[in-house]
Structure 1
Amino acid sequence: MCEEKNDEQMNHQLNLLKKTFSSIQDLIVVIDRDMRIVTSNWKNCDSIPANEKKSNPLCYSCLMQRSEPCGSCKLLEVFATGACRKFEIEDPLDNRTKLIELSPVFDDDDNVIFVVRHAKDISERKSVENILQMREKQQAAVAKLGQEGLAGADLDELMQESVKLVAATLNIEYCRIMKNEDGKPSMVAGVGWEEKYERETEAEKNDIVCYTLYSCEADMIQDNDSQERFDNLSMLKGKGILSGMDVLIGSKEKPFGTMNVHTTQKRVFTKDDMNFVQSVANVLAEALSRKQTEENLKKYTRELEDANYLKVLFTDILTHDLLNPANIIRGFTEQLIIIEDESSKKNLLDKIHKNNEKLIYMIESASKFIKLESIDDIRFEEQDLLPLMKKVIRNFEPEADKKDIELSFVHALEYPSLINPLIEEVVLNLLSNAVKYSPPGGKISINVSDMADKWKIHVADIGPGITDDDKTMIFERFRQADKGSVKGSGLGLAIVKRIVELHGGEVGVDDNPIGRGSVFWFTVKKSLCNP
């Protein structure tokens, strides 16, 4: 009676299971302890031959195409432990990625009598995940190379690092950089190439060209007007190469060479792959351009270091060759900040913009200093210093308000002086430093003292202060204070000193009497008609 009851209960449970998953599209089978399939929704699976669906086939034979159970059978683990199992496999029935879920079915005595095997197709999801992982890997590789390029890495080392990264990221066997020198390409960096192969064909004329060698002739993925460039691809076939990609390094008019990607796999490179390799090529092109610029600057310096017009030439390089690209970067960065919605990218753009602004300031400061260095005397005018100072202070009020800094200017009715308009740069620079290094909620005091035949202008802040050792050198060009004191390009205070010296005055810095911060000061001559 007991066995009949168990059989009746088992049949009842099987009928319930059939009703439960009969409408499910994924393949579901119920397996007993003898590893036989007792029921399933076969109708939803065309990958299993009809003859194998008859009777109660063994699960490993029918589902895994094996003659014996798998080495570490997870099905038996579920029968033994009563715990569910979940794992991924490449399904031998259709070669697609499946998520397998094994769930136990218990009898009234809590014994596992069946295991339900649910196979869910996750191929598309895995494909998307792989694409996203590849993109992330590619972006990280480009970022790494970009940082090394900006840091001034050795060009040969950067090229070798580039081919290694491209080969590893794309999972291909061969990558090389071919330099086009005097119309004869030669390999300057490579992975997988034991010999420095050279191609007799002319340099590539396109930005990106992808090709496969499945047949006797190259099957182009992108159009190319220079079909004859594939005439000597027999060398690639000799290495067992089936697919490749060529990317130009530098401009079409005057290229440095190409980056070549090759693999023995039958592979069609995606748009993301193309963009990645082109991005790497662009990093190399920028590094080459920087190297060329450095070499040109060194050449200029060697040729003109003893010439009187070196300063004028260097000023032109600063204001044109360097300042113009920096201003272009400023324009594009500001436009991207406006239209970019993604916070991480917006944050990076903000950092680029801030550092580019520093670069522009340094270039402009260097240009001013060079011009001031070449001036022996300037024209002075009798002028009231007060309106000039009010103008500069008024211009800094918005910046001070952002940090909740109080600008205090106690003054008389007028300060007749013998000055040049350049003196405005002195007030502007000292006030700029005071605002920059004052803490939020601080106070900056500006006042003018009567020194008989001179006016002494004071700018006091409550910032970090200047050490006694630093006070002796911060007004020298390209010298900066130590950590905790004024930092910068090393030119701002040198410009201040030069302008004040041209006025026949003095400049200096003292500790703020209140016990915190500094007082920068300078002197100018009073007007000759001043009583």
Structure 2
Amino acid sequence: MSSITDSNMALLRKREKELECIYSISDLFDMHIPLKSLLKGIVRRIPSACSHSELAAARITLDDEVYQTPEYEDTPWMMSIDIFVHGKVRGCLDVVYIEERPPLDVGPFLNEEKKLMDVIVSRLGKVLERRHVEEALLDSEKRYRVIFESSPLGIFIDRNGIITHCNRSFLKIFGLSREDVIGSEVTDFVNDEKLEKVLFRSDQEIMPYYETEYTARLAGRQVHLRSYYVPHRSSRTTLEGGVCLIADITRNKQSEDALHQQKELLTSTFNALQDLIVVVDKELNVVTSNWKSDELISPEKRKVHPHCYECFMHRDEPCDPCHVKDVFSTGEVAENEYTSPVDGKTREYRVSPVFGKNNDIVMAVEHIRDITERKQTETALQQSTEELASAYEELRSLDRLKDEFLSNLRHELNTPLTTIRGYSELLQEGTFGPLNPEQENAVDKVVNKSKRLHSLLDSLLFASSSQGGRVKYNFEKMLLSDSLQSAIGEVSRNAKDKSISLNFDQPPEVLLTKADADYLPRVFVNLIDNAIKFTPREGKINLSAFRENGDVHAVIEDNGIGIAEENLPKLFQKFYQIDSSSTRNYGGNGLGLYISKVIVEDHGGKIWIESEEGAGTRVHVTLPAIDQN
């Protein structure tokens, strides 16, 4: 009887230890402490519930993390039980004895120890499952909060029309604080009577979804808002609340308006083009175009997307070859001209490919222009060009005849003129005996007129030759002062006859240039002779020469009648006279300045005139200077 009592007492003590262990571990589960602390607390409490607690040690392995008592070591006297979480093994619970017990003793790991370990592992698995679900829910709530707060829509959740939640976007739209919004009615922010009816209508009329747009004035500016409302129904289809989203679509609306205006502008521009623009698909159907008033196709055919060759070529089948087909096959721009046998108009066709996303040709744009008038103009222009070319050849022939005539005329006139001038000068010099005053006067007139006639012939021939670029120059190094002195000697008698003082200020330096010894003095003869003609009796003519900016510069200045400013640009024109009276009063043929300009420019120089009416004239001539060496 005593033995039974001792056995029962031992069993009761063991059950007591197991219950104490289970209650202690349950307290840990209920405390919601961190997982690591929980597992460490479990392994510390398990040995106390074993039969030989002084020799027991425990270890928990979970997700490759190990938690064990300090004295734990692997021995042959061990029991291990797997830990299952959601049906999968996540680790195990190990209990060991660090020493072997005598065989007669009730050994370790009987069913009671295993039952205890099963209870602990089962409870631990459920706790881990619960914690996993809680963490997932917490993570989901965090993600929801992030989405909720960072959503670009002004989100608020309402129940029976009262706002319970709202995010930062909503507060930003209306410029309010969260305290001002929570507890307010939805209709305070949604300016839409229909939404009010949706919120408070009967159960049978609950809408699955409602959307509206409206304008509102917020913080002194007008905004455009869009609201969405999704009602929440119970299992009995009663309205329990809902979710309402508000978005500020002011920018979108402005962009839509701008795009619409741009579209209208492009459409108006497209339709206002004088040329015809046609979009054609691969089957040669006209997809769209800016049809003109001079209709190429009936309105009935327009509606069924006619073929392009029906509209413009007036054919029942495509041309062969077809320029539109060529564009679809080659991907290159094609051009063509076609004269319609129906209306007789000539049109220019330019077709360009339109490529899709895969770089394949999806359509072609045909640019059609009526070039009938242009072709007629080109034909008339070609005819005029041919007529002008014929006239030009005729003029060239006449010009050659003129040159030949002038050359022959000079030759024919020079022979008798040279004889007249020669004998007249012999008479003037007294070679054939003395002359009385009347005879001297007559001979002087003959000599002067023969010289003038000779000069006129040379001027006419030069003007004719220079026009065709046939003047031949013999350029050589010469002194500018020599040309001036030569010219002074030739016209000095004319100056003397009018008692005009002709002064030449000899330059202190040597002024060299490359020039023709016959033609350059002729320039100064013409210029000085002009100065003598237009300077009154007893007037003055001053000549000067100097070097300036790499040029030799000659100036002929007189105190004659001068020239009006409006006449200066015309002075170097061929045969130009300021007025008809100039020719009668002063003589001349209008070629002197023209010839001078041609000769100076052929020498690489420049000539210009400065004058003021009634205050004299200055003529400037510059030529490229050269060094003595």
TM-score bracket, normalised by the shorter chain, equals 0.3 to 0.5
**Structure with larger RCO (C-alpha < 8 A, sep 6+):** 1
**TM-score, normalising length from structure 1?**
0.36
**TM-score, normalising length from structure 2?**
0.31
Larger radius of gyration: 2
